[in-house]
Amino acid sequence: MRTSKSTPSFLHFVEKLSISMMVSWKQHKEITFFKDIKGFTLKVMVKHLLSIEPEEPLALKILQDFETFMRGFVSLPIYIPGTAYVNAVKDVGFTRGDFLDVILSKRSLNDEEIVCIVSDIMLGGYETTATLLALLIYFLGHAPNVFQKLKEEHEAIRKRKEDGELMNWEDYEMEFTSKVIYESMRCGIVVKFVHRRALKDVQYKGYFIPAGWKVLPVCTGVHLDPSRHENRTEFNPCRWTDKASYKKVMPFGGGPLLCPGPGLAKVEISFFLHHLVLNY
């Protein structure tokens, strides 16, 4: 899920989608931010992965199917008719006639492999990005000085642009915005732990881990480690001025199983924040 300078149309798509959300929100006194932002991130994913326009009926069907899947994903795996788990199991079969068919002709994989790949990528690029955005807004709401500095950065970008001119890759170089995103990932800890399996017997700090056992490194232990982060509970984006700070967190996992879409997530969040801080 890499983004590159060869796809300015994708940047424009993300920005136009962000603008449409701002216009929609201005028509309401109250909004359900997390619900709306999940719709935003899913629309970006179906466009980026499957080249489906958000207004197409198929995109709406995918959103419904994936919401059903997510409710079952975090539920108890008890097979009782009518429960979220059972509905999700049934939905896996139904979705084959929807977005899976779109990519069947593009991949030399069997159905099970396609389901796994799409589910993993959609889960990583949809739910986690939406959760991070919601947490980021929460942190900004409790740090007015950070919000003001963020707004000043985006006002400076807007002053360089003509009226109605969309942003480009040069505008994406948002130094303070990047710090805000990383600090939100550190404090929010969207992914609480990562799944790993021991490929061979391991001795670690006096513990014996047999081959085949699952190991779940907990990110909280790294992100809130007082020996690594001064004033660990403080939301302070300026700590990322020190480049060494980037080696003290693991928001995207690590090793061969590093999250494939950190660039995409940062583009979504940066462009969305640009219009949010300038409109509210």
In terms of C-beta density within 10 A (0-12 exposed, 13-18 middle, 19 or more buried), how is residue 276 classed?
buried
106 three-state secondary structure: coil
Type of residue at 256: P
Helical (H) or strand (E) element with 220: helix 220-223
Q: In this structure, are residues 70 and 127 in contact, taking their beta carbons and an 8 Å threshold?
A: yes
Pair type for strands 202-204 and 207-209: antiparallel
Q: In this structure, are residues 160 and 174 in contact, taking their beta carbons and an 8 Å threshold?
A: no
Q: What is the distance between the alpha carbons of residues 16 and 21, in angstroms, rounded to a whole number?
A: 9
> Has 259 been labeled as part of a binding site?
yes
Strand partners, 185: none
Q: What is the distance between the alpha carbons of residues 100 and 104, in angstroms, rounded to a whole number?
A: 6
List residues forming the annotated binding site: 259
Q: Which residues make up each annotated binding site for heme?
A: 259
